[in-house]
Amino acid sequence: MATRVRPSSKRCAVIGGSGFLGRHLVEKLLDRGYAVSVFDIRQGYELPGVSFHLGDLCDKQALLSALKDVSLVFHCASPAPASDDRGLFEKVNIQGTRTVIEACIESGVQVKLVLTSSASVVFEGKDIKNGSETLPYAMKPIDYYTETKIQQEKLVLKACDKEKGFLTVAIRPHGIFGPRDPQLVPILVDTARRGKMKFIIGDGTNLVDFTFVENVVHGHILAAERLRPDSPICGKAYHITNDEPVRFWDFMSEVLVGLGYPAPRYHLPYILVYGLALLLWLLAMILRPLVSFKPTFTPMRVALAGTHHYYSCDRAKEDMGYKPVVTLKEGITRTVQSYPHLRKEA
Ligand SMILES: NC(=O)C1=CN([C@@H]2O[C@H](COP(=O)(O)OP(=O)(O)OC[C@H]3O[C@@H](n4cnc5c(N)ncnc54)[C@H](O)[C@@H]3O)[C@@H](O)[C@H]2O)C=CC1
Ligand SMILES: CC(C)=CCC[C@@H](C)[C@H]1CC[C@H]2C3=C(CC[C@]12C)[C@@]1(C)CCC(=O)C[C@@H]1CC3
């Protein structure tokens, strides 16, 4: 039998470390003196102090070699939420997360696993105001991404086992934004450039959480450093947001105007747009064998844009002393400045 080595407490692994959140997390971990192993299907960058291990998280042998001498693992890999590939979500988020858990347990005597979940695991397309972690998981998840994020979170929290020395926690961020985000600002600008950002869905007063990426990173590191056998956070989920709910359309307008595009002005009834989005989505499904088209207005996006969905961070404040480190205003300014290439040309 192989001898088990007690791993160095300052070496950690970031699965999905080439992605948007993953890379910000890696940078902060380096600042804090950690040596970092990134495990990802792609290598997005190079940094001193980071070793890259290319592989699929469904491959246990590949994972085991990346987790050698590691006592802290962050799992923030996922297929892009915009994908509609159910098989891929199931393979990566469910089977892959099972493999991550097995690899962590097999790799060391004391391993901590911090999962990036999502506050959307309780969202069914209906209003959520100041929702706490006691809300039940969505019974009818709005898409495959959410459905598999629920299963993933359940697997990770259930696997927490103090006797075995395997400690787990799940961080649930919402609406992550910031420099290098490949989704929020690029989608918004693309929609504006195609002349489709003229309309506000509903009356425009719905409040939503958008979370600056550095706050999400801060929440992950607090959780990792407080995850001990005697801590109340073992096996629990925590909302991490900017703790400043904002009108969805005010946030979008501020980013658009900051980049030189006009803010949306005309109102459309929510139910009408949601119905149309549903119809388009069904059409895309039915016609998929013949033609392939991706509607901009998916039911999920319309629900995200037209309902209240903001969450309480009280549990994270109480159990881990969480407090956002960057305000929403500062986060928006830094984000807008980081996208000079997406500015509207004069
Ligand atoms: N961006 C957001 O607004 C939110 C994101 N989250 C969660 O945060 C996490 C990180 O998201 P982002 O950084 O925005 O996404 P991202 O797409 O930028 O990063 C995901 C990374 O996972 C990697 N990956 C995908 N499949 C893999 C596989 N089979 N094996 C190994 N690596 C694989 C990708 O190559 C990519 O580098 C995800 O779990 C996501 O569900 C949760 C709430 C909101
Ligand atoms: C709050 C939250 C969870 C945000 C996640 C990010 C994305 C889901 C959004 C980023 C850009 C948004 C966007 C729309 C929906 C939600 C996003 C994709 C629209 C498609 C909503 C309808 C419109 O009028 C156009 C919007 C473009 C930007």
Task: Provide ipTM, 2 decimals.
Answer: 0.92
Biggest CA pair distance of the chain: 68
Which ligand is nearest to the Cα of residue 204, counting in written order? 2
Cβ atoms 297, 273 nearer than 8 A:
yes
pLDDT value of position 175: 96
Tokens of 285: 């499904």
pLDDT value of position 122: 97
CA-nearest residue for atom 1, ligand 1, is: 176
- Catalytic site positions: 145
Through-space distance between the first and last CA atoms of the chain, rounded to whole angstroms = 68
Query: Does the reported pTM lie above 0.90?
Result: yes
pLDDT value of position 2: 39
pLDDT value of position 110: 87
> What tens digit of pLDDT does each residue of 53-84 get?
999 999 999 999 999 999 999 999 999 887 87
User: What is the rounded radius of gyration, in angstroms, for the C-alpha atoms of the chain?
Assistant: 20
pLDDT value of position 242: 98
Query: If 0-12 CB within 10 Å is exposed, 13-18 middle and 19+ buried, where does residue 290 land?
Result: exposed
Q: Tell me how far the alpha carbon of residue 271 is from its chain's centroid.
A: 27
- Residue 248 Cα to ligand 2 middle (Å): 9
- Residue 16 Cα to ligand 1 middle (Å): 6
pLDDT value of position 9: 59
pLDDT value of position 6: 43
pLDDT value of position 288: 78
- Residue 151 Cα to ligand 1 middle (Å): 16
User: What does DSSP assign to residue 145?
Assistant: H
Identity (one letter) of the amino acid at 78?
A: S
Give the residue, out of 248, 304, 307, with the most ligand 2 atoms within 8 A of its beta carbon, to mutate for a pocket test.
304
Q: How many Å apart are CA 195 and CA 190, to the nearest integer?
A: 9
pLDDT value of position 3: 40
Q: Counting atoms of ligand 2 from 1, which one is nearest the CA of 301? A: 15
Decide: 202 in ligand 2 pocket, CB within 6 A: no
* Nearest residue to 70 via CA among 31, 107, 16, 114: 107
> What tens digit of pLDDT does each residue of 146-167 get?
999 999 999 999 999 999 899 9
| Torsion sign (Cα): 123, 129, 133, 136 | negative
CA-nearest residue for atom 37, ligand 1, is: 19
Which ligand is nearest to the Cα of residue 173, counting in written order? 1
Q: Counting atoms of ligand 2 from 1, which one is nearest the CA of 248? A: 1
CATH of 9-182+209-243+311-326, one of 3.40.50.300, 3.40.50.720, 3.30.70.890, 3.40.50.620: 3.40.50.720
Domain spans, the chain = 9-182+209-243+311-326
> What is the enclosing helix (H) or strand (E) of 77?
none
Decide: 74 in ligand 1 pocket, CB within 6 A: no
- Residue 183 Cα to ligand 1 middle (Å): 11
User: What does DSSP assign to residue 137?
Assistant: P
Strands, DSSP E only, in 22-175? 35-40, 50-54, 70-75, 111-116, 128-131, 166-173
| Torsion sign (Cα): 81, 85, 86, 92 | negative
Which residue numbers in the chain have pLDDT < 50?
Answer: 1-8
Cβ atoms 223, 320 nearer than 8 A:
yes
- Residue 156 Cα to ligand 2 middle (Å): 28
Which ligand is nearest to the Cα of residue 38, counting in written order? 1
Give bridge partners of residue 171 from the DSSP assignment. Answer: 116, 238
User: What does DSSP assign to residue 81?
Assistant: T
Q: Counting atoms of ligand 1 from 1, which one is nearest the CA of 115? A: 39
Decide: 301 in ligand 2 pocket, CB within 6 A: yes
Strands, DSSP E only, in the chain? 8-15, 35-40, 50-54, 70-75, 111-116, 128-131, 166-173, 176-177, 199-201, 207-208, 211-212, 237-240, 246-247, 266-268, 309-311
Tokens of 268: 């459309």
